[in-house]
Amino acid sequence: MRAFLKTLTLGLCLVVAGWIAPLEAPAQTTFTWTASGGGNANWNNDRNWLGRVDPLNNSVGAFVFSNATRKLINNNNRTGLVMTNLTFVSIAGANTLNGNAIIFSNATGNGSFANNSANLQTLNFAGITLGSAYTINAASGSIQINSAINNSGNLLTVTGARNTTLAN
């Protein structure tokens, strides 16, 4: 009992003194859109995201769209979102992503927007800023980007078997 109290006292003293062991950085988050949100397709409706994990303001992560329904998707009130990767999987329907500006950036410099669906994917964000080198890959279906892109001096590579249209 005495040893337990000494350990407890030492632990409390370290916390009170402000000494805390550094924590590891959190793993990259993956946000997967399922379109299960009932009456709307808004990003702030957690029922639209796998595991009810929706992106919050300034979220950083990979975004995956696997929905065949509810294809007009609104980033209605999220700001500062950083998409390390944006992927439309093979079963995704033709989607249009609308709303607030986003950032394409990946700390490793290997960020990508890949359309692995045979359907057209359209981006209508208020703007897109590149925070790192980024690749847009129309692998299986075409991509239409109607958002102004600020490359901030970063390389933007466009590739793939299908068409990519940059309207602004």
Query: What is the reported pLDDT for 143?
Result: 98
Q: What is the pLDDT of residues 109-120, one digit of tens each?
A: 779 999 999 999
Measured distance CA(8)–CA(124) in Å, rounded: 56
Residue 158 has pLDDT above 80, yes or no: yes
- Helices vs strands, H then E, count in the chain: 1, 14
Q: What percentage of the chain reaches a pLDDT higher than 90? A: 56
Among residues of the chain, what percentage have pLDDT more than 70? Answer: 83
Integer Cα distance of 126 and 168 in angstroms: 11
d(CA 48, CA 78) in angstroms, rounded, equals: 14
pTM over 0.75: yes
Q: Give pLDDT tens digits for 75-114.
A: 988 899 999 999 999 999 999 999 999 999 998 877 999 9
Number of Cβ within 10 Å of residue 9's Cβ equals 10
With a cut of 90, say whether residue 132 has pLDDT above it.
yes
pLDDT for residue 168 is more than 50: yes
Q: Where are the beta strands (DSSP E) in the chain?
A: 29-33, 60-65, 72-75, 81-88, 95-99, 102-104, 111-115, 121-125, 128-130, 134-137, 143-145, 149-150, 156-159, 164-166
pLDDT surpassing 70 at residue 135? yes
Instruction: Note the pLDDT tens digit of each residue in 25-79.
Output: 334 589 999 888 877 889 889 999 999 988 988 999 999 999 887 788 989 888 9
Q: Residue 28's pLDDT is what? A: 55
Q: What is the pLDDT of residue 26?
A: 39
The reported pLDDT for the residue numbered 8 is 35
